[in-house]
Amino acid sequence: MQTQQEHAFEFTGKGWEYFRIWIVNLLLSILTLGIYSAWAKVRRLQYFYRNTQLAGASFEYHGTPIAILKGRIIAFVLLAAYTVAGQMNPLLGILIFLLLAVVMPWLIVRSLRFKLYNSSYRGLRFGFSGSDGGAYAVFLLLPILTILTLYLLAPFTHFKIKQYQHNNSRFGDTFFRFDATSGNFYGIYLKALGLLLLAGVFFGISAALHMPVLMVILPLLYLYIVGFLAVRLPNLIWSKTGLGEHDLYSRMEVGKYLWIAFTNLLGIVLTLGLYIPFAQIRMAQYKFSCMGLLAQGDLAEFVAGQVQTDSATGEEAAEMFDLDISL
Amino acid sequence: MSVAAQYFDGRTATAHGVTLTLDGEWLQLRGDLLAREWPLRDVRVSERLGDTPRRITLPDGGHCEVTDHAALDVLLKQGGYRSSWLDGMQHSMRWALLSALLIVLVFAAAYRYLLPWGAEVVARSIPPNMLQKMGASSLQTLDKLMLEPSKLDPARQQALREAYAKLSPLPDAQLAYRIEFRSAPQIGPNAFALPDGNIVMLDELVALTQDDDEIIAVLAHERGHVEQRHALRMVLQSSAVGLAMTWYMGDVSSLLATVPAMLVQASYSRDMEREADEYAARTLQLNAKSPCLLPDILQKLEAAHAKRQADARKENGGSVMDYLASHPATQERSALLCPAH
């Protein structure tokens, strides 16, 4: 058994530094009626990627603003078509909705490919080789089945989506792997459901005792459930993800996460939004400080094991639809 | 000038410590087992982004990461590399503050000029049958929430209806008008126009005066609100403000975003009241009635509301909904409507 070496992520972004970049780009986005926001998005991602350090090297984002602009125009047209058609004629609205549902998995695959191919670390690109068929199964078929089973299948669907995404992702020539089971997902969702039931019981007790003061606890409990899901799911997903023989981990804590999310919200509201860049930096700092890589052997061995043959990226670039639909 | 850098060849993940130097037009890369050079113009240097490592993309498929910003700047300057105008802006506190100021100005200008103009264009393009539907559904909602059937003597109702029917509309009027009599003790003396041209007249307002012409003056004022689509414009404006707030605040719940929108757009703007006053004055003149009728009834309204407020304050220390809050001072309106008064 080889020794494992732990390498934590480190996020080095600074609030004031990012604020200056953010506000200038926001102004330009507003003055150009949103067109420049594609350039602003590329800068934001570059700033966050380059400030994310792992084992002495940072990540890089290579996406071009034009590709993002194209994706946004497509998304805008689809949404506008759906809204307008639905207003004019409900039947036409349903037709466009069905069309959207059929096109969406295909678009998601292109978008994932774009996102991963345009990310790199130590000069090697990430990649995505999920098939369209797989995407239709997890992004169309399973969601329909989920609704038909009154959401009993929801944790399973979530599991399959993450499995499809992570098993088909690569770093250079090395594939990621996803070792979670659907049972892991059901465990977390059932705990959240249990907390929700607890809230219900609590509500019943405080109503029966005519003690409305106890109701104050309800929103707190609800907030805790939201934080619980926002922390435990990423923890599970990343801790069960590996790269080749190496493992990743995420160890966020619900209390700390909620504190940051709450103070961020407060800051944003009190400053009419000027705190947004600071809030994003704080959250990224916390999330990355809880994440890391468990490398088999030492770092030199991990690094030496990562290679990229030309065929892998060449194929990807040629087939690139150059589209990013995530807004 | 030599710059320390990490070189990655793009095929393996291994980092090589190298130094970069400039020899005329050529960028030279030197490491333990490496010695390469390229014309500087074939090399792509990423823009500065805070303190993040800068990336030099090389023609061989590899790249260098540089964290010694000062040294790289000197080297690039030697090579005649010019950074973009945006580069300076993104890193200066002065530009950050100026941008914040400009953003506020742009929003203020859009709110003051663009929004009312856009709302008017949209409001005017809504077809009459849509207005009818909107009017009917708002009356239904109001009836359910706050209005009671009128207790006004049917003869007085009929007289007012006839007097109003006789009032000739201005030539550009587009809608048919009717009066709906209702009562609402908790609102007090009031009248309001629905988008379809129906005007809700409250018993409490009719009770203020014996002179039917004064009621007609109020009706003409409300008709001005309808003809100029004031209510629709207000609704469109407040929903646009709500939408913009939601977009700007992003993650913050949309509930938070609608609160300021509601506060900002609580009632008709003063400009709208002035427009409706003017419309009423023109209608009254067309019908050979004195434009001073409107200020007369307005004064009575103001007095009635002041009394209600004083009563409410006496009773429970609170204040009732203030109908006249957005109305320009009654004195000022009188002066505009009938200078001889």
Closest-CA distance of chain B to residue A243, Å: 14
Asked whether the beta carbons of A119 and A126 are under 8 A apart, the reply is yes
A119 touching B (Cβ < 8 Å): no
Note whether A59 and A50 are within 8 A (CB).
yes
| Prediction ipTM score | 0.82
Give the lowest-confidence range in B29-43, B45-59, B256-270, B277-291: B256-270
Band of residue A315 on the pLDDT scale cut at 50, 70, 90: low
Residue B334: what pLDDT? Answer: 75
pLDDT at A322: 54
* The pLDDT value given to residue B247: 65
Burial of A294 (0-12, 13-18, 19+ CB in 10 A): middle
Which of B49, B63, B90 shows the shortest C-beta gap to A123? B63
Contacts of A299 in chain B (CB under 8 A): none
User: Mean pLDDT for chain A?
Assistant: 87
Q: What is the pLDDT of residue A327?
A: 42
Q: Are strands B178-183 and B198-202 parallel, antiparallel or unpaired?
A: parallel
Question: Coil, helix or strand for B7?
Answer: strand
Which of B13, B53, B249 is nearest residue A273 as measured by Cβ atoms?
B249
Average pLDDT, integer, range B287-294: 85
- List the beta strands (DSSP E) in chain A: 4-11, 52-54, 57-61, 119-121, 124-128, 169-171, 174-178, 241-243, 246-250, 291-296
More confident residue, A300 or A91: A91
Contact at 8 Å (CB) between A36 and B90? Answer: no
Query: For residue A144, what pLDDT is reported?
Result: 93
Chain A: closest CA distance from residue B133 (Å)? 15
Q: Which residue has the higher pLDDT, A144 or B314?
A: A144
CB contact at 8 A, A152 and A110: no
Three-state secondary structure string covering A184-236 = HHHHHHHHHHHHHHHHHHHHHHHHHCCCHHHHHHHHHHHHHHHHHHHHHHHHH
The reported pLDDT for the residue numbered B263 is: 41
Give the model confidence (pLDDT) of A240-277 as tens digits: 999 988 999 999 999 999 999 999 989 988 988 899 99
Residue spans of alpha helices (H) in B125-253: 128-145, 154-166, 203-206, 212-227, 230-249
Among B209-218, B293-302, B304-313, name the one with the lowest average pLDDT: B304-313
At residue A179, what are phi and psi to the nearest 5 degrees?
-100, 5
Interaxial angle between packed helices B330-337 and B293-316, expressed in degrees from 0 to 180 and rounded to the nearest 10: 170
Residues from chain B that touch A25, judged by Cβ atoms under 8 A, are: 90
| A 261-280 → B contacts, CB under 8 A | 265, 268-269, 273-274, 276
Report pLDDT for A254: 95
Closest residue of chain A to B50, computed from CA coordinates: A17
Query: Strand pairing of B63-66 and B2-8?
Result: antiparallel
Nearest-angstrom CA–CA distance, B300 and B208: 7
Mean of pLDDT values over A233-246:
94
Alpha-carbon gap, residue B152 to B202, rounded angstroms: 9
Mean pLDDT (whole number) for B87-102 = 90
Q: Which of B6, B8, B46, B52 should be substituted to probe chain A, the one whose Cβ sees the most A Cβ atoms within 10 Å? A: B52
The answer to whether A57 contacts B15, with C-beta atoms less than 8 Å apart, is yes
Q: What is the pTM of this model?
A: 0.77
Map tokens 């207003």 to a residue. A87
Q: Do the beta carbons of residue A237 and residue A180 sit within 8 Å?
A: yes
Does the distance separating the beta carbons of B90 and A20 come in below 8 Å? yes
Q: Look at A55-64, A101-110, B69-78, B322-331 and tell me which has the smallest mean pLDDT.
A: B322-331
pLDDT digits (tens, 9 = 90+) for B137-193: 888 888 887 788 989 888 888 888 888 888 888 877 777 778 889 988 877 788 878
Most confident of A35-39, A92-96, A294-298, A308-312: A35-39
Residues from chain B that touch A21, judged by Cβ atoms under 8 A, are: 49-50, 90-91
Inter-residue contact A188 to A236 (CB < 8 Å): yes
pLDDT digits 0-9 by tens, A178-215: 999 999 999 999 999 999 998 888 888 877 887 777 67
Residues of B in contact with A121 (CB under 8 A): 13
- Nearest neighbour of B49 by CB, restricted to A47, A268, A306: A47
DSSP SS3 for B29: strand
pLDDT, position A179: 95
The reported pLDDT for the residue numbered A324 is: 61
Give the C-alpha separation, B243 to B252, whole Å.
Answer: 13
Instruction: Dihedral sign for Cα B83, B85, B87, B88, please.
Output: positive
pLDDT reported for residue B318: 43
> If you compute the radius of gyration of chain A from its CA atoms, what whole number of angstroms results?
22
Q: Which residues of B touch A273 (CB under 8 A)?
A: 248-249
Pick the residue from chain B with its C-alpha nearest to A267: B252
CA distances from A20 to A59, A146, A268 (A): 21, 44, 16
Task: Please indicate whether, in this complex, the C-beta atoms of A268 and B248 are within 8 angstroms of each other.
Answer: no
pLDDT mean across residues, chain B: 81
For residue A131, pLDDT over 70 is answered with yes
- Distance between CA B238 and CA B264 in Å, rounded? 8
Assess whether pLDDT exceeds 80 at residue A150.
Answer: yes
Task: Give dist(CA B3, CA B67) in Å, integer.
Answer: 9
Share of chain A above pLDDT 70, in %: 93
Q: Please answer yes or no on whether A306 and B51 come within 8 Å at the CB atom.
A: no
Neighbours of B135 (CB within 10 A): 21
Burial tier of A227 (Cβ tally within 10 Å: 0-12, 13-18, 19+): buried
Q: How confident is the model at residue B255 (pLDDT cuts 50, 70, 90)?
A: very low
Tell me if chain B has a CB within 8 Å of the CB of A303.
Answer: yes
Structure tokens that stand for A233 in this block: 């799911």
CB contact (8 A) between residue B13 and residue A46 = no
Question: Which of B13, B90, B93 is closest, CB to CB, to A306?
Answer: B13
The confidence band for A19, taking pLDDT boundaries of 50, 70 and 90, is: very high
pLDDT at residue B175, rounded to an integer: 73
Handedness of CA A316, A319, A323, A324 (dihedral sign): negative
- Closest chain B residue to the Cα of A39, Cα to Cα: B86
Residue pairs spanning A and B at CB distance below 8 A: 109
Query: What CA–CA distances, in Å, run from A223 to A140, A214, A261, A324, B59?
Result: 30, 16, 11, 32, 52
Mean pLDDT in residue range A59-77: 85
Rounded mean pLDDT, B72-93: 86
